[in-house]
Structure formats: structure tokens, C-alpha cells
Structure 1
Amino acid sequence: MRSKPLVVDLDGTLIRSDVLIESGFAYLKAAPHRFYEPLLWLAREGKPGLKARLAGATNVDVAVLPYDATVLEWLKTERKSGRTLVLATASHERYAQAISAHLGLFDKTFASNENVNLSAHKKREKLVAEYGEKGFDYAGNSHDDVAVWQSADRAYVVNPSNGVERAAREIGNVERVIESRPPFARTWAKSLRLHQWLKNLLIFVPLLAGHKLSSPDLAIAAIVAFLTFGLCASSVYLLNDLLDLEDDRHHPVKRRRPLASGALPLTWGLGLFPVLLVGSFTMAWFFLPWRFSVVLLGYYALTLAYSMFLKRQVMVDVVVLAMLYTIRIIAGTAGVGAQLTFWLLAFSMFIFLSLALVKRYAELHSMKERGLVKTRGRGYVASDLSLISSLGTSSGYLAVLVLALYIQDAKTAGMYRHPQVIWLACPLLLYWVSRTWIIAHRGLMHDDPIVFAARDRVSLAVVVLCGLVFWAAI
């Protein structure tokens, strides 16, 4: 049995997260109108004051933090052998003590307070005063931990950031390196939600509806608009995931998202989302008409409002989701200089409202299957299922009605030689809307409905058949 205590860092070592960033986004989500206050606290009271203020103003659920399973198993083994375990962290003592109490592994806890930021040299001084030089072993992950390893007997390096392992080995006391991170490329792809870029294919709809797909210049403009919107959307997804960390961890599927699960460090998400946003608007400004930038700005503002508070308002959330789908079509018209018609706008709003309600219905259905009564972070209850189903199917059928009325419009006759052929698309859409809702009712809708449709063979077959119908009508 080793006599020397094992001291363990928290952020990035015991948990794949950072409590300061977690509490910062929890505060921003709870009080978005006070977004400036943490900056004032940092300027006036320094980092210790900021941590103390955020700890007092937030309530991060330590039970669902992304604990590193490999590190936890190792600590449990050390604990069973009779070794003294100590938690030493730069996070505020309120959260450090809560985590220690939750895990029940640690004999002592050292943490920051309103006067001291227990990091790097401050942490080393505290541990040396408590256990003496070389009187403890230490597990950490960052450059701040290098100073502590200099006074530790043995160093345990956990998922080290760039250059940390090399710096630790230069000290000469590395006992073990623990690597438990998932593959880098797959994590990035999941965090950017590249599969959700399928929704941005809606940008090409105005080009198809206006029979302008054969124009190389317009096709290139649409592709640039697609990429630009994708970067903006990925930026939004990252920000949304940072704001929804705790809610996602309580969700059976969303808890596996890279930021919520800790597969992607919060600092990377925090740094990447503004880079993507700036890149998106830079591309839009230099390569696309100014109207596209205006639409893109509107999309970002509405999405930000949705992430902050609109998603918690009953029915407002699904109307906003429908608008966000429709904005992609509006962006397509702005990007290629096409005209947005009344019929396309009306059809889009009704069909996308139906799909937004499908998405909410699927979440409620899953919640009910787990025995829950109310959605977390939403305003819905299980008894809303039947009403949402009625509203969603009605909206979907109204979209088909809009298509039928479009056939009779005088302008349609000028665009198509055989407009009556378009009637064949109506039963196809009636079938697809009905089938989509039946799938949701059976609890088989596990993804965004647009993404589901892009992967579903039957849905793709309906799209191809509808395309052939419109081609035959030309």
C-alpha cells in the first residue's frame, strides 16, 4: 500500500469539462439580459471573485457532469487499496465539495474561494504546506498542473493538452499517462453536426422551383450559400450545446453530444463557435448579394433568441422552428437572386410547422416512454401528445392544399406546359405526411425530421417521384 496521498485535479482530469465555463453558460442561459455581469466581476474582483459569484448564482447539477470513467475506475481501485485520495481544484469550493460528496471517494478537498484561485503555483504551495515536498502524487492534465508535478513524487498525466506530456516528462516523475479521449475527427464532425447540413439543401429549392438549376453562375452561388449557411448553423449548434449542457445530459440521446459528454473540451467549443460565425459572414459579404447577409443575420438572431428563451415557450418554439426552416428557402432566393413567391412561402410555413411538431411530438413520446410527465427545458407535458399530433397532421395537410391551389394559379400555367400533372404530387405528399406522423406515433422518429427524410429510402423515393412529376409538367 502506498503511503503517499494521491491528489487529483478536477477540470479536465476527473471530469471532461470545466466548472467555471459550465457555470458561466448556466448563468448566461438563466439571465441572458445580464450577459455583461461576469465580465464586470472578472474586472473588479479577479478570477477568484468571478468563480465565487458564479457559484453563488448558478446550480450546476454535479450528478450529471461528464466524469472520466477510466479515471473513476482507477481512483476506486486506489481507494480500495487504502490509499488517501484528495481532490484539489481551481474550481470554487462550493462545487468541489458537492462533487466530493456526490462521489464519496475523497478524504480531503482543496478548492478556490473568493480570495484565492487555487491553480498552478498556488495549488503547489497549498499541497506542499499540507504534505511536504515530494510528499504526494498528483494527477492533472493542463499546463497549470506542470508546476504541481514539480513538487509531486509521481505524476499522472490525464488526457494531456498540447505539450503537457512533454513538459511533465522533462520533470522526470511521470508514472502513467491516461488517454481516454475518443477519435478526434469523429468528435469534431459530431460537434459541428455536419449531418444537420442536410437541412441546408433547402437553399436549392428556389433554384429548382424557378427552373434555374441549369445556370452555372446561379448554381455556384447556391453552393456558396449552402456552405456559408452551414458554417453559421454549426456555430449556432455549438453555442446551443454550450447553453444546454445540463439539459442535454438528462436526455437519453443528447447526452452523447460531444460537449455534453465531454468528448470535446468546452474551451474548444467556446473558441470555435465565433470563428465559424465570423467565417460564415465573411464568405457571405464577399461572395453573395448583400440581401443574403441580411437573411443570414436574421437567421442567427432568431436562432440565438430560440436558444436563450423561445424554446421554453409552448407553441412559440415550433413556430420559430418552422420559421428557421423557411428562412433557409428565403436565403436561397436571396443568394441566387430568385423571386420568393407567395405559394412557396405558404407551402414552406405549413409543411415545416408540421415537421417542427413532429420533432416535438417525438421528444414527448420518448419522454412518456421513460415515465416522465414534463419535458426538461420545454413547456410541454405528456398529455399534450394528442393535441400536438392533431395540429401537426392538420398543418401537413394544409401544405398539400396549398400545392393543389398552386396548380390552379394563372402564373403556374405560364411556367408549366402541363400544370395538371402536378396533381399527382398531392397524393404522394399526403402519403408522406401521414407516414411520417405514423412513424412518430410509433416512437421510431429519433432524429430531426428533415435529416430523417434525407436518410429514409421511402422519403427519398417520394422526393424522386415528385421531382419526376414536376419534370413531366414542364
Structure 2
Amino acid sequence: MPARTVYVDLDGTLINSDLLLESLFRLLAKNILYLFMIPVWLARGKANLKHQIAARVELRTDLLPYNQQLLKHLEEQRAAGRRLVLISASHQSLVDQVAQHLKLFDMALGSSPSENLKGRVKLQKIREISGAEDFDYAGNERSDLPIWQQAQTAIVVSGNPGLSSAASRAAQRITVFDPEIRLGPAMLRALRVHQWAKNLLLFLPLLLSHQLANTQLVLMSLAGFLSFSCCASSVYLLNDLLDLEHDRQHATKRTRPFAAGDLPLQLGLIATPSLLILAFLISVLLPWEFSLVLLGYYLLTLLYSFYLKAFAIIDVLLLACLYTIRIIAGAAAISTIPTFWLLAFSMFLFMSLAIVKRVTELENLRSRNQQQAHGRGYYASDLVPMTMLGSASGFMAVLVFALYINAEETRVLYGTPEILWFICPLLLYLISRVWLLTNRGQLHEDPVVFFTTDRNSQVVALLCGILVWAATGSWR
């Protein structure tokens, strides 16, 4: 009597991802205008949608987040003489690519332009192949229940106890592979909550206008902070979804939740627009100028994500602008106008910090003996000139601050502006130190986040705050 055939689903089972969404995001990253074609293709059925998308994209199946626990089990089954069939609702061309990469399956079946191989349609296909013979089936969702009802063994790849219980009632035997994914911590990592520290820049106009005692303005700044944080997290999620393939080839980004398969892509598809809507709902509580700045920030970020981040120098200039826009938004939230000095200082400072990120990436590139950054316009040979540009920009920010001390408007806000001169060496120390650590290869994170978590930087920030307070003359 021949051994039972094992039929294996692909999306969410063999891989911790969904090939339809993977290929859709890949298509949109290629050209966002394809977004308007999706409803047209879908109107002729989901099978046609899969066919149209698959015909326009190429996926690196070797980079997909495979379920290693299930793969090991399948290899053991094959070694025991079991026949393995990969059967999926994904398009046939994609299923074939996965099968060719793994070299594990005897047959690979997927959806065609006219047939969506899912649920009872998949069961019918299995019966066409196996006839009345017993079989095992590996799946991960409730649409697989009709197949498990006729399977000898239900192989459930899910941490959902309700699904496992339903499968145990349907099949004669059950084997469970729990991915043990903790959605909460993974979602927090995807939202980049630690990056919200950048949005503390929205409080800078409030701080510099010396109105911290005004409760209403503090609450307005807080609302602006929450709005920008939701918007930023929406952008982070969108970037992660569009850059899945690039992230999986990156030394550190490959551990991001979506790239690593720790979060279902469907969750990202829902959370991305939801966070953006929430951001603009919060912005309604603030002056209309804030909503306008928020919209400009979002559009500029999209422009960066889809196009401009591939261009050397332009990308860091744009990043510096995005930081500065946060300050402009903070001013709009409390109906003030940021000064020329503040905007000039922030542009030079954040240009320097943006270049720090690129230099760190180039250091990693050189350590791996690679010549060009993937998806970027930089080469390993750009390390020295980028370091020079970044250092110069940082010191220019200190020069702008020094000129501000002697400006006429400074004497309106500060009773003893001369005290502000002591801030200059502190700023020089901060900028020099971050560049020293960068060139030593000791800075492995976003420099803005580094400043908010580094003990030395915190001490310097406290000293600067004390000096600003002293310069106001409030202590007299």
C-alpha cells in the first residue's frame, strides 16, 4: 500500500507571508499608478487579479520567510517515502518558482487565470489527483476545513486554538505547528514607537517661545505630537510593505516584522490607512495650518519612499526637510511662526544627522566587500566625501546658532543672551562625538533616536536647557 500523499498549502503555511500581497506590494513599488488598475482586474475575478499581477512582477522566492519548523517536518516525510504536493491559491507561476527553489515537491499546483484554487475548488483538485486514496493536508485557515474533513491527518500551521479545535473535529488525526508569533510586540516594532522620539521636535517651538506654563498650548502640542506619530507609523508600515524584498537583503532590516514574517501582511494592509486616518482626525483639533503641514509631510514622505530615496544627496536633503517640517508643524499647532534662525539651524543639523545614517550604511557595505548600496545611489567609495559633507553641515549648524546669539530678536526673548555662548561648545561636542562614533562603526541606530537615549547626550541636553533658562533671566 503506497504511503499517503501530503498536500501542502503555501500562503501562511509553508511561508509566513502571502504571495498575492507580496506581489501586489512589489507591483506598487514598481509603479504606484497600478493602484488604479487593481479594481479593473478584480472586477473579472480574483483569479484574473492574481494572473495580471503575477505577469508583471518577479519575486525572489529564495528570500521568502519560510516556516522552518514545517520544512523540517516535510523533509522527514519525504525521506520516509511520502509524496509531497504543493497546492496553493497563489498563481501557478509563483507556486512553480517556490517549488523549483525548494526542490522538495513532486508536483506544484496553483491558480490559473480562470480558477482560484482555494477551499472546495482545491479539495476537488486533490480528489482528481488522489482519487479515493487517503491523504494528509497542511493548511492554516478556516477555508481549509472542508479539506481537513476528508484528510487522514490535518496539519494545522496556526497558533489559533479555535482553528486547531475545529480541525481536530474535522479530521481523524491532527498535527499542530504553532509559529509562536507574538503579534503585540511585533506590531510595536513595526510601528517604530521608539522613532516617535523624533516627533518631540514638535514641542520645540513651544519651548523656545517660553510658554510651557500655558496648559492649552501644551495640550495642542501634545495633540500635534500624537497626530504626527500616527502619520509617521503609517509611513513606516507602508515603507516596510513596499520594501519587503530590499529589507530581506539588508543586514539588519531583514529582521523587521513584515520582512521576517512575524506579522501577517493583511494586518499591515489594514493598519497603514487606519493610522493615517487617525492622524488627520486628531489634526482637526488643531489650526488648519497644522493639517496642511501634516499633508505636506505625508506627500513628501511618499515622494521619498517611491522615488527620491534612490538619488544620492537628494535623499539626505529630503530627510533634513522632513525633520524641519516637524518643527514647522509644532509652530502651526500653537499658531506661531518659526524663526529663520531655527529653520536654518535645523536644516544644517538634520542634514548632518541624515548623512550619519548613510555613512553607517556605507561602513556596513564596505565591511561586506560590496560596492553599491542596494536601492540607493551610493557606492562604498563615497564614504570619505559623505563624512566630510556631514561633519561640515553639523558645524554649520553651530555657526548659525552663534550668529543667532547676536541677533536683535534674541535680546527680546533673553535677558542675558551672552550665556547662550556656553551652548556652542556643548553642540560642538555632541556633533563631533556622533561623527567619531560613526566612523568607529559604533553607531548602529538612527542618530536622532541615539541622541534621546544616549546618556552623554542627555546630560548635554540638560545643560543646554539650564543655560537657556539662565539666559532668559528668570532666575533673577
> What TM-score bracket applies, with the shorter chain setting the length?
over 0.9
**Structure 2 counterparts to residues 69-468 of structure 1, below 5 A:** 69-133=68-132, 135-159=134-158, 163-285=162-284, 287-468=285-466
For residues 425 and 414 of structure 1, do their structure 2 counterparts lie closer, same or farther at Cα, with a shift above 3 Å needed? same
Match of 2:104, SS state, is: coil
Residues 155, 175 of structure 1: 8 Å contact kept = yes
| Alignment: residue pair count | 472
For residues 162 and 241 of structure 1, do their structure 2 counterparts lie closer, same or farther at Cα, with a shift above 3 Å needed? farther
Residues 190, 237 of structure 2: 8 Å contact kept = yes
Displacement of 1:161 in angstroms is 5.4
Match of 2:20, SS state, is: helix
Match of 1:6, SS state, is: strand
Distance (whole Å) between structure 2 residues aligned to residue 236 and residue 181 of structure 1: 27
Cα deviation digits, residues 229-259 of structure 1 (max 9, x gap): 1111111111110000000000111111111
Question: Which one-letter code corresponds to 2:288 in the other structure?
Answer: W
Question: Which one-letter code corresponds to 1:154 in the other structure?
Answer: T
Question: Which one-letter code corresponds to 2:253 in the other structure?
Answer: K
For residues 347 and 127 of structure 1, do their structure 2 counterparts lie closer, same or farther at Cα, with a shift above 3 Å needed? same
Runs of 4+ in 1 over 3 A off after TM superposition: 160-163
Moved more, 152-161 or 312-321: 152-161
Residues 150, 171 of structure 2: 8 Å contact kept = no
Distance (whole Å) between structure 2 residues aligned to residue 166 and residue 118 of structure 1: 25
Match in the other structure for 2:38: 38
Residues 142, 161 of structure 1: 8 Å contact kept = no
Distance (whole Å) between structure 1 residues aligned to residue 466 and residue 113 of structure 2: 68
Distance (whole Å) between structure 2 residues aligned to residue 324 and residue 446 of structure 1: 21
Match in the other structure for 1:19: 19
Question: Which one-letter code corresponds to 1:472 in the other structure?
Answer: A
Question: Which one-letter code corresponds to 1:367 in the other structure?
Answer: L
- Provide the TM-score with structure 2 as the length reference: 0.97
Residues 148, 171 of structure 2: 8 Å contact kept = no
Q: Which structure 1 segments of 5+ residues have no match?
A: none
Match of 1:150, SS state, is: helix
Distance (whole Å) between structure 2 residues aligned to residue 124 and residue 165 of structure 1: 19
Residues 29, 306 of structure 2: 8 Å contact kept = yes
Distance (whole Å) between structure 1 residues aligned to residue 134 and residue 171 of structure 2: 16
Residues 167, 174 of structure 2: 8 Å contact kept = no
Moved more, 361-370 or 346-355: 361-370
Residues 84, 107 of structure 1: 8 Å contact kept = yes
Distance (whole Å) between structure 1 residues aligned to residue 171 and residue 130 of structure 2: 20
Residues 201, 226 of structure 1: 8 Å contact kept = yes
Match of 2:45, SS state, is: helix
Match of 2:88, SS state, is: strand
Question: Which one-letter code corresponds to 1:35 in the other structure?
Answer: L
Cα deviation digits, residues 367-387 of structure 1 (max 9, x gap): 111111111111111111111
Residues 149, 171 of structure 2: 8 Å contact kept = no
For residues 130 and 292 of structure 1, do their structure 2 counterparts lie closer, same or farther at Cα, with a shift above 3 Å needed? same
Distance (whole Å) between structure 1 residues aligned to residue 146 and residue 230 of structure 2: 39
Distance (whole Å) between structure 2 residues aligned to residue 458 and residue 103 of structure 1: 50
For residues 98 and 434 of structure 1, do their structure 2 counterparts lie closer, same or farther at Cα, with a shift above 3 Å needed? same
Displacement of 1:31 in angstroms is 1.1
Displacement of 1:469 in angstroms is 1.4
For residues 165 and 432 of structure 1, do their structure 2 counterparts lie closer, same or farther at Cα, with a shift above 3 Å needed? same
Match of 2:113, SS state, is: coil
Query: Percent of aligned positions with the same letter in both sequences?
Result: 47
Distance (whole Å) between structure 2 residues aligned to residue 190 and residue 114 of structure 1: 37
For residues 33 and 181 of structure 1, do their structure 2 counterparts lie closer, same or farther at Cα, with a shift above 3 Å needed? same
Match of 1:177, SS state, is: strand
For residues 376 and 150 of structure 1, do their structure 2 counterparts lie closer, same or farther at Cα, with a shift above 3 Å needed? same
Q: Which structure 2 segments of 5+ residues have no match?
A: none
Match of 1:440, SS state, is: helix
Distance (whole Å) between structure 2 residues aligned to residue 174 and residue 332 of structure 1: 60
Match of 2:150, SS state, is: coil
Match in the other structure for 1:63: 62
Distance (whole Å) between structure 2 residues aligned to residue 282 and residue 162 of structure 1: 36
Distance (whole Å) between structure 2 residues aligned to residue 91 and residue 120 of structure 1: 13
Distance (whole Å) between structure 2 residues aligned to residue 204 and residue 126 of structure 1: 61
Match of 2:90, SS state, is: strand
Displacement of 1:221 in angstroms is 1.0
For residues 174 and 343 of structure 1, do their structure 2 counterparts lie closer, same or farther at Cα, with a shift above 3 Å needed? farther
Distance (whole Å) between structure 2 residues aligned to residue 2 and residue 392 of structure 1: 68
Question: Which one-letter code corresponds to 1:368 in the other structure?
Answer: R
Distance (whole Å) between structure 1 residues aligned to residue 404 and residue 455 of structure 2: 27
1:6 matched to 2:1: no
Displacement of 1:34 in angstroms is 3.0
- Provide the TM-score with structure 1 as the length reference: 0.97
Distance (whole Å) between structure 2 residues aligned to residue 68 and residue 364 of structure 1: 32
Distance (whole Å) between structure 2 residues aligned to residue 50 and residue 278 of structure 1: 27
For residues 173 and 229 of structure 1, do their structure 2 counterparts lie closer, same or farther at Cα, with a shift above 3 Å needed? farther
Question: Which one-letter code corresponds to 2:293 in the other structure?
Answer: V
Displacement of 1:201 in angstroms is 0.7
Residues 25, 243 of structure 1: 8 Å contact kept = yes
